Amino acid sequence: MAGPLSGIRVVDLSQIVSGPMAAAILAEQGAEVIKVESPGGDPVRVLGPRKGDLSAMFIAVNRGKRGLCIDLKSPAGDAALAALVARADVLIENFRPGTLDRLGFPYERCAALNPALVFASITGFGPDGPYSNIRVYDPVIQAISGLAASQTDLKGAPSLVRSLIADKTTALTAAQAITAALFHRERTGQGQRLDIAMLDATVAFNWPDVMYNHGFLDDPPAPQPEYGDLGRLWAAADGMTAVGFMQGAEFTAMMRAVGLDDLAGDPRLKDVAGRMALRAEWAPRLAEALAATRLDDLMTAFIREGAVGGRVNSRAEVVTDPQVVHNDLIVEVDHGRHGRVRGVRPAARFAGTPARVAGPAPRLGQHNAEILAELGLGDEAS
């Protein structure tokens, strides 16, 4: 059965993570995606562990695409991209502002070639403004967006989330915006330009919790402890665990899970205010009970009582976690001479139009001959 975006054609001019990951999500949902690269290739091809020109990171964000390598500065490359744009539904690019204009493909030309085109432009800070000329990578956005300030160490110094969280948040934002624009086009026939800034996506991502002390403007209430400061990891007998109990029933379930039945039944601890006021009474006892219990036994108790809790998995343990295995989350894709590569199935499961486990990521220029033939062009374009 075809995916929900079956029949949609995407031209992916982007590189690194934000744009390619957005395009990969569309590919998993059934879109035909052609990744267009310059002769130098996407820099992520050689970042981290790799075989040939396929790194693990490149595969993860370019799965299920066909690859076309052309020189956009040449007449033949210009003709090839123009032909692709004319038949596409979506174009994704994440060059610095003005770069695609200088290469001869401003939005105005693309819209003239294809008025129904959804033109998605991803930038660090936006198409204009005081920072628009700054080159951007994920840590810069984490810094300016306030995300780094929410990740303080024991001395109060800001730090980075050790993940490309701004890139990946932007990718999710872009994929959703593109499908919304396609839905609008389905109703009206009109294409449009989308501008998705990494800064905008990350500040919006931060707002509900990281920025909750900065919401009220008129007669603001007293600031509360920062939401991120309320969470911590707890030591178990053979590792670490995360627990939570925002609601009274959850606190009761946690105390029962670790054998502290007297605290589970304490009426003074039924609400957040009481638990906060009496933290010195129950928190040390909870810490002691957790530290005396093995993770497997804690997980059994959490499941039995319906408590909020989970073991801290190492990276290697994630793929064998019982719930990950039950969800059939990890998949293997054959990459030919490079062997099997492990990845993740599409996160959203569609009952009527299932998303597919995407195929291999393309080698640089792997599909040049077939794509150029489809466009009625010769090999000179590559």
Q: Which residues are annotated as catalytic?
A: 167
Q: In terms of DSSP bridges, do strands 118-123 and 90-93 run parallel, antiparallel, or are they unpaired?
A: parallel
Strands of 192-197's sheet in order across: 66-69, 32-37, 9-12, 90-93, 118-123, 192-197
- Please name which of 206, 163, 196, 204 lies closest in space to residue 19, comparing C-alpha atoms: 196
Tell me which H or E stretch contains 120: strand 118-123
Residue 121 pairs in a beta bridge with: 93, 195
Question: What letter does residue 129 receive in the DSSP assignment?
Answer: S
143-162: burial string, b at 16+ Cβ within 10 Å, e else: ebbbbbbbeeeeeeeeeeee
Contact predicate 68/34, CB 8 Å: yes
Cα atoms in the 13 Å half-sphere on the side-chain side of 85: 26
Strands of 233-236's sheet in order across: 233-236, 239-244, 308-311
The SS3 call for residue 335 is coil
* Alpha carbon distance 322, 299 (integer Å): 11
Number of H helices, E strands in the chain: 16, 13
Contact predicate 92/122, CB 8 Å: yes
Strand spans (E) along the chain: 9-12, 32-37, 50-51, 54-55, 66-69, 90-93, 118-123, 192-197, 233-236, 239-244, 308-311, 330-334, 340-344
Backbone φ and ψ of 342, nearest 5°? -85, 140
* Alpha carbon distance 138, 18 (integer Å): 10
